Structure 1
């Protein structure tokens, strides 16, 4: 979980982050508050004052459910002059909507009047503007407009063909609407009410904010969504793993968003995480769906349809699009629309394409349904073609990527700058062949060969893929194995040198099967030694190396999903004791986070503190972390 104290509410691809008194302050950085829909902030200020002062939080805001929070506030008072009234505040979020209910209750035997003010603003900032990376984006011709309505305010933003609105509807309507005090943005407005309260009486204010993002309207259907029902029968039980599974399935429901699939069909897929990644991510959605396969195979079918619909068709250096390549992420914000960032449809991932093929076969293997494999045959063949050509298998012998200065320096799951490093901390230079992507490619080739033989009835194609996979496995054993360390290299750099940092990526090789069984078992046991295993989880880099940092993103922290893949690999290699040790650590970590695993844990040893140290910028909930307990359950069942 994040270390900050904000309250986060989420529902149907809309979320709001609030301070503990229910305010939105216009913050930026690692955890910006606000109301968000489709990559834009539709509320940047929402600050209440009572009788001219900031209210005192008698009971700080607490999330009662995933989409509703409440707090109790009052004006300033003293022991001899207690506050005249109390404010009971309840806030909730729904599809592109934020609602607030204020109930003012008089504490006195005589009539009193409350003066309530609410300062409101909508900056329509793109999520990428709010990150703490010091980037600034020009917005030529951008226009903000604020208009009073019969019952509130409407904020509008326009830039060329881009248009978005935020409407505030009040019951009762405010008595006055004025420019906010100095020190606020010019667009901020203050809504004021004088609220009469009878002796020990009460009054209510109802406020509704409608976010209207650019582009297709948010869906407003009221059909029961998964988060309204029990998560899954498979999660029943009271042991810690069962409770973590139940929480994880509920979080997947919270993160599920509507997208367009193949042939324009409407599908619902797990977005990657909140606050930064409430959108379709190729790698994240694929691994999340794989973890869920024995429990919710329909999620995999939806993700495969959505990714087939966005599969690369042309060459575009700006976005990294190439024919057959599976998308890394999609964005719907202003900066993506005007191509100021490459992420509208960004293809900077070396591993999403083979993982697409892995999931396609695994879906058929799990369900026995051949219809999806038949429907996506052309897309699968194009994905294989990409691996062989632009992906680098034919030319380099491996899947490779070159760092993208306008996008991602690293294009595997460890995609932060500096993550693919030598033992001295130096970042590898491209073309880079990361180890786990070769394992995915090997597995993808073999799985697709099975589809070709059994479903597509193309024996020649199946034979070609198997031969390609065998050659890849042979090369990998010769080029990646570090004899002295008795461990696989993290990567090969553009000169073919082994990138020699000891990293958790090696655990993915157990899952994909590219290592021979003897080496795989040695690697699995090595990952549970103290420099790798913190007692909670396997670290991304083994401690004691120069680049190790327990609070880094990918150089010493521990990721639940990374450990889920490792767990599945341990099960495949028959390392039952190691699997149970790893599972116990992860489940214990989940139990100390109310059974919700965060995106990342700090790499500190379990003996150092009573619970895992939070990584300060972690997304929570986050899809593949949420699905991790289900992967652990599957691994245990297979061991």
Structure 2
């Protein structure tokens, strides 16, 4: 994602750093590995939490925190009983990602030094439930006494709020910050406030129930009396608010949020009697509505059930992750990229996620298209790397972005989001026939096409290239945006403007898709022009990029049009988009699936033996599930179903070694070893939207699934199922007004399709 290097003296002269630059500018600092301690993630809207297994925050150094609008609103939250941390019994995110459930018990406790154990361990059970809703973190700590006599305990919560910008948490240093304060603002309330250099006041309000026996600016202590067999609860509520002081105190809502202000969402606890009823009610109401919100988000989507329980778990986790990451915007739902570092709108990630889930839920694609159309660049702004028609790369709302210390407030430094946007529009219309949405965004599609030709093709050679416009921006602007990800066969960094292999494929597919849209909207002349342009690009691409000596397409062309003769997964995207000539497909597939390319778990980003191959790198030898999903779709497109199934099997096997069967953002590219899972990457995001979408793309690739509204047809083209799947039940598959339930069964190499339920007149076709 966001990794680059310190800028050269003339940023527009070279799109990649010189060979002696090594320190990424927006590097994610990794003094500790996210693999060391299992972390738990929750998200709702623009708030997300990274917690340890206890449900605590900041007990050890790391990315833990409660974040809101790219700022850490809570940097410490630790639960203790009689001054000791409880013993962990179990910790799990609920299946739908709705809440974190933690089971704890008290350790052996000595109340006075030298005394015998006053409270034996395992006498008191603690059950902790945490969830997020509308910018608020809710925490219920339930206690139960299993002893035959009453017990009296001191339960304490220690807390703090550092209001660090997300980029500071990631490792970026700042020389100046705003003013921070904290006060005990009521008998059961503490307020942290930070007035930033961006003229915004950010507050974290801590509410407690019952009224604490002692309340200090960083600590709340409760006297809990439990009868024999008795129960009690302690509630903690952290409310995040942001106020723009330059707008006379008008609250700044979460990006795209149409929800009511957080602090007014639910009743505050009564302060006069110290009874937990007020906070308990707030917890119960929010928990109820959060569950309803989750159910509503997934109502009516296509679901999958198979003969393999482990794949079912993976599919359920993937679905839950997608809808946890999805946030509401005025234009529809948008899948935020990932937790913890990318919980915001990313153009490329959102588009690819929408492509892979189009057959599951076309509403995701609709929301992505409409939101990116609404944020499309309309002016030239070098600081944001923007030109008219360009599609957003990412947006941030933290202090550093607002001040311009990082360029990501509205940042357009991506070469591929614009053609991908047009490509998605074509795919969306082909499946849904939603003419109203296409008509709404058609001016944006035309603007994107104009950007491709005018600004994307910098030298008029027919290829789309990138070179950053600001020294604060990303040096490499494809999906492999690490500072060292684009290089020549001898390891030298490529200097730009750089034309990436996969981007030419995206442009080809974009123009092919836009030609169909133009025809549907009555512009036959534009349709013919776009088809002709796409064919010229295809011919030129083959001539410039295909390298017989390596048997595949070049990674990129540098600024002097010299090919980067490097075997990479990028070539698989040429298959995915259809720009590859049919006669090239088997050769490209052979390289991808060779021992150097495929490690047993998946296709490496860079093949073994290339100059900068490193299985532990971010982009130069690692394995990304979304990349493999696009490769599998590409293989299937050219009839290479066995190879696609092999990739699917590898990725499914990798998921079995992940907690919750969740595919992470990426993992290391070491060769598969017997009786061992894949090697984790130390700072991979998990969950990650396009990784969560990958299982649905793998299945669609193997089944050859095609949905065409114009033909009212659901087609399975030469379907195959991998060895770990005997049956697949697809429920509520939608095409126009039709709904069908289908059972697919594997008979050796063959697959049969049975229609179990049909509503509407859509045809189901099996084509061998």
The TM-score normalised by the length of structure 2 is 0.77
Q: C-alpha displacement at 1:100, in angstroms? A: 2.1
Match of 2:195 in 1: 158
Match of 1:257 in 2: 327
Match of 2:84 in 1: 54
Equivalence map 1:281-296=2 (5 Å): 281-296=346-361
Q: 1:429 to 1:231 in 2, by over 3 A?
A: farther
Alignment partner for residue 124 of structure 1, among 158, 163, 166? 163
Q: 1:553 to 1:153 in 2, by over 3 A?
A: same
Alignment partner for residue 104 of structure 2, among 66, 69, 72? 72
Match of 1:363 in 2: 428
Native 8 Å contact 2:184 2:216 kept in 1: no
Match of 2:649 in 1: 584
Is 1:170 matched up with 2:208? yes
Is 1:492 matched up with 2:567? no
Q: C-alpha displacement at 1:175, in angstroms? A: 2.1
Match of 1:203 in 2: 232
Is 1:628 matched up with 2:694? yes
Equivalence map 1:39-438=2 (5 Å): 39-51=70-82, 53-65=83-95, 66=97, 67-77=99-109, 81=117, 83=119, 86-95=124-133, 96-106=135-145, 111-132=150-171, 135-159=172-196, 160-178=198-216, 189-199=218-228, 201-214=230-243, 215-216=252-253, 219=259, 222=289, 224-226=292-294, 232-239=301-308, 240-261=310-331, 267-392=332-457, 395-403=460-468, 405-438=471-504
Alpha-carbon displacement from aligned partner over 1:537-560 (angstroms, at most 9, x marks no partner): 000000122311111110001111
Q: C-alpha displacement at 1:427, in angstroms? A: 2.2
Q: Secondary structure at the match of 2:381?
A: coil
In structure 2, what is the Cα distance between the partners aligned to 1:231 and 1:130? Answer: 39
Equivalence map 1:440-455=2 (5 Å): 440-452=506-518, 454-455=519-520
Native 8 Å contact 2:188 2:215 kept in 1: no
Q: 1:15 to 1:88 in 2, by over 3 A?
A: same
Q: C-alpha displacement at 1:241, in angstroms? A: 4.5
Match of 2:36 in 1: 4
Is 1:16 matched up with 2:49? yes
Q: 1:460 to 1:546 in 2, by over 3 A?
A: same
In structure 2, what is the Cα distance between the partners aligned to 1:520 and 1:58? Answer: 53
Using the TM superposition, name which of 575-584 and 403-412 deviates more.
403-412
Alignment partner for residue 512 of structure 1, among 553, 557, 577? 577
Using the TM superposition, name which of 155-164 and 433-442 deviates more.
155-164
Q: 1:626 to 1:612 in 2, by over 3 A?
A: same
Native 8 Å contact 1:601 1:612 kept in 2: yes
Q: C-alpha displacement at 1:197, in angstroms? A: 3.9
In structure 2, what is the Cα distance between the partners aligned to 1:44 and 1:552? Answer: 29
Alpha-carbon displacement from aligned partner over 1:523-571 (angstroms, at most 9, x marks no partner): 0122111110011100000012231111111000111110111111111
Using the TM superposition, name which of 197-206 and 90-99 deviates more.
197-206
Native 8 Å contact 1:231 1:250 kept in 2: no
Q: Secondary structure at the match of 1:236?
A: strand
CA RMSD of aligned residues (A): 2.4
Q: Secondary structure at the match of 1:499?
A: coil
Is 1:478 matched up with 2:511? no
Q: Secondary structure at the match of 1:284?
A: helix
Q: Secondary structure at the match of 1:607?
A: coil
In structure 2, what is the Cα distance between the partners aligned to 1:374 and 1:231? Answer: 25
Match of 2:730 in 1: none
In structure 2, what is the Cα distance between the partners aligned to 1:142 and 1:399? Answer: 46
Q: 1:572 to 1:107 in 2, by over 3 A?
A: closer
Native 8 Å contact 1:509 1:520 kept in 2: no
In structure 2, what is the Cα distance between the partners aligned to 1:164 and 1:313? Answer: 31
Q: 1:195 to 1:609 in 2, by over 3 A?
A: same
Unaligned runs of 5+ in 2: 1-32, 244-251, 266-288, 705-717, 719-768
Q: C-alpha displacement at 1:176, in angstroms? A: 2.1
Q: Secondary structure at the match of 1:72?
A: strand
In structure 2, what is the Cα distance between the partners aligned to 1:232 and 1:465? Answer: 34
Native 8 Å contact 2:302 2:359 kept in 1: no
Q: C-alpha displacement at 1:199, in angstroms? A: 5.0
Q: Secondary structure at the match of 1:374?
A: helix
Alpha-carbon displacement from aligned partner over 1:234-270 (angstroms, at most 9, x marks no partner): 3122325454333222211111101233xxxxx1111
Q: C-alpha displacement at 1:27, in angstroms? A: 5.8
In structure 2, what is the Cα distance between the partners aligned to 1:55 and 1:367? Answer: 54
Q: C-alpha displacement at 1:366, in angstroms? A: 0.6
In structure 2, what is the Cα distance between the partners aligned to 1:539 and 1:82? Answer: 57
Native 8 Å contact 2:182 2:190 kept in 1: no
Alpha-carbon displacement from aligned partner over 1:375-429 (angstroms, at most 9, x marks no partner): 2111111000100011116624211111453121211111111011223333211
